[in-house]
Structure formats: C-alpha cells, structure tokens
A and B are shown apart, each in its own frame.
Chain A
C-alpha cells in the first residue's frame, strides 16, 4: 500500500493568514502516460463527511473557493489556504487514488490562532 504522511498534524493560523499543509507519498502517484498526479484533498468539519476540495493534485472541485489551491508532483504535495476564514476550521486529508487500496493521510487539523 502507498503510505501518505501529512505534516504538520495540526496548525493554528490567524484569520486572513496563509495555511500550508504538506502531504508526502511513499511512492510516486504521478502516472507517466497522462502526466496526472492521482492525489486529492478533502476537508472534514466536525460531525460531517469529508468533502472533496482538490483532485489531480491541483484542480479545484466545482464550488470550492479559490483561496484553496493544491500543488506538487510525484511524491510531494501541498494544500494552501491563502487567506484563512473562520469556516475553514476543519481536518484536511490527502488521498492517493493511484493504486488500490486508495489510502489517506492521517489528517491535519486547522484551527484559528
């Protein structure tokens, strides 16, 4: 199985400031034949299911605010919230869907400082 490791486990950011979450895969999730990274990001608020934010490492799901952006390739990826809002308090997960079983990172909790 591909192991996904996120850092940090938690972070506290002031409103309006940037939040950055890292995700590292134990092997590449870049598929050479189509040059796509099989990596997604989810947001999970308390008592709710995860919500898909980003897929193919950098494509925002419809309706997701543009303050959320994804970057990276191969084994190293980043989710950036450019200007943290109160409603962004949540746990964020990365997930690889390059190989079965699809695996998730352990999650990063984002709070307001």
Chain B
C-alpha cells in the first residue's frame, strides 16, 4: 500500500522560495502514475498546484506556473516542490497525492504539511 509523507520548513519568509519533499513508500515512483502537489489555505478549499509523471513530464496550474517547479529523485523515491517568490497568500497545508493519470482523481494522499509565509 502506497504511503506519502510531506516534509519541509514550516515557516518561509516573504519573497523566498518554499521547498518541500514528499517521500513515497510502498510504490516506486518510476513504475508509473502521476505525482501531484495540492494545497489548502487554512479554513479554505483545495487547489491543484501541479503534477509530474515518472518520465519527468510536468503539468502546472497556469495560475502558479511561473513560480512552480516539481521534480523527482528516483534514487530516493521522492517528489519535490519548489515555489518561488512566496507571499502570505501561499500560506497553506501542502499535500502530495497520487493519480493514475491527469484525467483521474487523486487516490492516495499524504497527511500534509503546513507552511506559513511570514517575516
């Protein structure tokens, strides 16, 4: 059974870059599936940030595309998220999630990690 676990700094300063990792266990990210980042501001709804296919192909939400990079380290079975030039509006719980394709739902989620943007 696949398990996902996000980690990274809980506090990031405005204008800096947010960096998170998602450790995947129970499934090799090289075997297929899409690996997604989704965020949820406190008390608010869900926003898809982007996804990465095991081949390295990436898809990003146009609203964030200029600031987002998603990558993979297959040797560590890990997915990474970088979001540059953050503001308070980027404060959210960040989830990694798996989906079979870009046109399927998210079938497995990590527990999420809260990132606060504040000086």
Let me know if A95 and B105 touch, CB within 8 A: yes
* Residues of the A chain whose Cβ atoms lie less than 8 Å from the Cβ of B97: 49
* Residues of the B chain whose Cβ atoms lie less than 8 Å from the Cβ of A98: 103
Let me know if A101 and B62 touch, CB within 8 A: yes
Contact of A40 among B62, B105, B111 (CB under 8 A): B105
Which one of A12-20, A50-58, A71-79 is at the B interface? A50-58
Number of B residues near A (Cβ < 8 Å) is 21
Let me know if B112 and A49 touch, CB within 8 A: yes
Contact of B102 among A55, A61, A100 (CB under 8 A): A100
Given A49-B95, A97-B104, A98-B103: A103 and B109 interface contact (C-beta under 8 Å): no
Given A100-B59, A101-B61: A50 and B102 interface contact (C-beta under 8 Å): no
Contact of B105 among A52, A105, A107 (CB under 8 A): A52
Contact of A49 among B48, B59, B109 (CB under 8 A): B109
Let me know if B62 and A49 touch, CB within 8 A: no
Let me know if B45 and A55 touch, CB within 8 A: no
Chain B positions within 8 Å of A, measured between CB atoms, are 45-48, 59, 61-63, 95, 97, 99, 102-107, 109-112
